[in-house]
Structure 1
């Protein structure tokens, strides 16, 4: 429309039953638009909600180990790491050194390398092992295919667009028992 005085712009907006919205206040002259502001706010809120729904939350789980860990304890901790990676979460593996163990960081490095080799089919090393004071830290991330499979499993568990709850499994398990009891009494 070009440059129009404020009174004329307000009159034009009132004539077509729209709002005069300032879109670029710092421009010289300021830029305004004729639009239905309520509809604009509603549509922008819908877009924001849709973008939030499509976002994936990155969850970082932490597993703490010691350099002199027992083989059975190591297998248990490795099982937890495998479970986390299968669920599509990242895992921060921390080796805690105490006392004289701090002078032997290669023990922790070997342990982390062994763990990364054993879980290589599920994930990869995102951040290589590095010493941080008394701790040595490594971050493992799931492979893309593992993440996609985990997301598909979550979607399959969600009936009719709602989040699964703890009581859902128990309620489904109790229902057949109640039907069986009712049919046997007839």
Structure 2
């Protein structure tokens, strides 16, 4: 019957009694399954962990620069691993690094939450911050902002 119609005979449940078969275009079926899998992969979000390194004796301007970098990563929907490096005698004062990491967490509280609290591991103290917005939301907002900016630029060129 399948040959007469020009389709394939596909065995659906070989263990059933009697075995269940279906007449269908198997190539088309495989193509549709591949398309669904491809669509599902496109909708997945890849969580990236960015890293920012600090030292306990960081100057104010450098701290602000690093904080802005952390904010940029968090607004983009990425996680941020903040590493505090202790060198030489700085290792005897881990509380200085802990205070600095706590200050950073408070400064970016509107964009992030502390996923892993500061923890000492040898010469380094690490803390992981997670974004409050999901990556998909952040990407959609960035896209909308770029479109609005492009529209505004187009209006200014049209009016001139």
TM bucket by the smaller chain?
Answer: 0.7 to 0.9
Aligned counterpart for 1:99 among listed residues 88, 113, 135: 88
TM-score (norm 2): 0.78
User: What does residue range 28-177 of structure 1 map to in structure 2 within 5 Å?
Assistant: 32-144=21-133, 148-155=137-144, 157=146
Q: Structure 2: which 5+ residue stretches go unaligned?
A: none
**Whole-Å separation in 2 of the counterparts to 1:53 and 1:155:** 19
Q: Is the 8 A contact 1:91 1:141 kept in 2?
A: yes
Query: Shift of residue 13 of structure 1?
Result: 3.2
Indicate the structure whose relative CO is greater, using CA pairs within 8 Å and at least 6 residues apart.
Answer: 2
**Whole-Å separation in 1 of the counterparts to 2:73 and 2:27:** 45
Secondary structure of the structure 2 residue equivalent to 1:95: strand
Q: Structure 1: which 5+ residue stretches go unaligned?
A: 1-11, 159-168, 181-186
For residues 88-108 of structure 1, the C-alpha deviation after alignment (integer angstroms, 9 at most, x for no partner) is 221111111122222322221
Q: Is the 8 A contact 1:86 1:147 kept in 2?
A: no
Secondary structure of the structure 1 residue equivalent to 2:77: coil
Q: Is the 8 A contact 1:67 1:97 kept in 2?
A: yes
Query: Shift of residue 67 of structure 1?
Result: 1.3
Which structure's CA Rg is the greater one?
A: 1
Secondary structure of the structure 1 residue equivalent to 2:34: helix
TM-score (norm 1): 0.68
Aligned counterpart for 2:8 among listed residues 8, 19, 29: 19
**Whole-Å separation in 1 of the counterparts to 2:12 and 2:127:** 48
